[in-house]
Amino acid sequence: MYWNEKIETLNRTELEKLQLEGLKKSIQIAYSTPFYKKHFDNAGFHPSELKTLEDAEKIPFTTKEDLRKAYPDGMLAKDKSEIVRMHASSGTTGTSTVIFHTKKDLDNWTELVARSLYMAGMRKTDVFQNMMTYGLFTGGLGLHYGAEYLGMMVIPASSGNTTKQISLIQDFNVNAIHITPSYALHVADVLRDELKMDPRDLGLKYLVYGAEPSSVATRQKLEDIYGASLYNCYGLSEMNGPGVGFDCPEKIGLHIWEDNYLLEVVDRETGKRKDAGEVGELVLTTLKREGMPLIRYKTKDLTYIFPETCPCGRTHRMIKHIIGRADDMMIIRGANIFPSQIEHILMAIPEVGTNYQIILDRVEHLDMMTVKVELYSKMFHGDLKELKKIQEKIAKALRDECNVSPKVVLVEPGHLPPSMGKAVRVIDNREI
């Protein structure tokens, strides 16, 4: 049941004592870097002020913009001779964010991933196919090494080449895969429409998903499609990558591994800590990373901490599955809308297939939202009046949820671009 029972079930007093020791060490290491020396000094904070975990609120936040300003190595805390790997974001919205790892850092990360997979039920006798991109992106390598450390045979399939992916699953009796929700939906389409196969016939037992937000409805849909048990793997490259948090078999929230991370949820505007159960922005601090510690990093992920403990027996606190990202929020005629809200509505409608796209335009100074929705192919072989009813049902459901009246366009399967990695769900054509 437990990979490391002592750590996973450590009582809160001992766990918080461990966190305080890690936090003190982390801020001392961070203070040795050019960035954090200036960052702390400008905020009037010195590492000697930290006496309790509550004192962490005195420490200034670190943001993604700080990481970009420190590029390439302004936050590096070790000599480069001790660095064995770096990962970087794609940099599509600006300068890349770079994270450096020592050998010990990678060993800790690998252990966390193995711990997570074991918690979900995977064992060395399982066969694990990694269908995530390898390279600067952390998702592929992070799960790969953790699965190997657990003892599973790992197939480094990466993303794309869907028919080959399916062949590998069949030929090597794969029963566990790591995949994005959008690509899992696309694979199901290929199985049914091109190969005339029921996705359940693959015999998958575990489906580990991450790298993009997904709604409860999407997760339920995938479990129904594959007949597999889904486990959400939460991570971000700034905190290593996958393995920061993970579903246990109870699947009520994500356990954050608090021996490695200090967990806070704060008000986005004031920066004050939120109470358990209150939605805010997730803030994380690395407690063991020596190559490049990050202190009070604002993730932009919106969630809340569960007020209760988990029936699984683990003492590490849980957060709600990510509600949305602060920078993903769309403002349409004064209404605040998250793509996850739209996804939840669409995926709960039986006639809706596996793909959709949100298009934002500005017409005569007014914001307009168009939602293109793929339906199952069988829906286009019936009465046009029935299609009109489905269109109106979708429009009403979206209007009731989002307080805007979108234009709904129904399209056949394959009309929208399939996702092989992270899905691009929103196209914003507005000139701000």
Instruction: Check which CATH number belongs to the domain holding 340 and give it.
Output: 3.30.300.30
Q: Are residues 292 and 347 in the same domain?
A: no
Q: Could you tell me the residue range of the domain that residue 347 belongs to?
A: 329-428
Q: Would you say residue 92 has pLDDT above 70?
A: no
Between 307 and 366, residue with greater pLDDT: 307
6 and 123 assigned to the same domain: yes
Instruction: Give buried/exposed letters for 91-110 (b at 16+ CB in 10 A, else e).
Output: eeeebebbbbbbeebbebbb
Q: pLDDT-derived band of residue 94, with 50, 70 and 90 as boundaries?
A: low
Residues 334, 315, single domain; the answer is no
Q: 264 and 408 in one domain?
A: no
Percent of the chain exceeding pLDDT 90 equals 70
Residues with Cβ < 8 Å from 93, sequence gap 6 or more? Answer: none
| 84, 104 contact by CB (below 8 A) | no
Lowest mean pLDDT among 123-132, 137-146, 189-198, 411-420: 411-420
Count how many Cα atoms sit within 13 Å of the Cα of residue 267 in the half-sphere of its side chain: 7
Strands 261-266, 280-286: parallel, antiparallel or unpaired by DSSP? antiparallel
Residue that terminates a domain, selected from 269, 295, 326: 326
Domain identity same for 229 and 139:
yes
The total domain count for the chain is 2
- 298 closest CA partner among 264, 328, 331: 264
**Is the whole model's pTM more than 0.75, yes or no?**
yes
Q: Identify the residue whose tokens are 């480094």.
A: 156
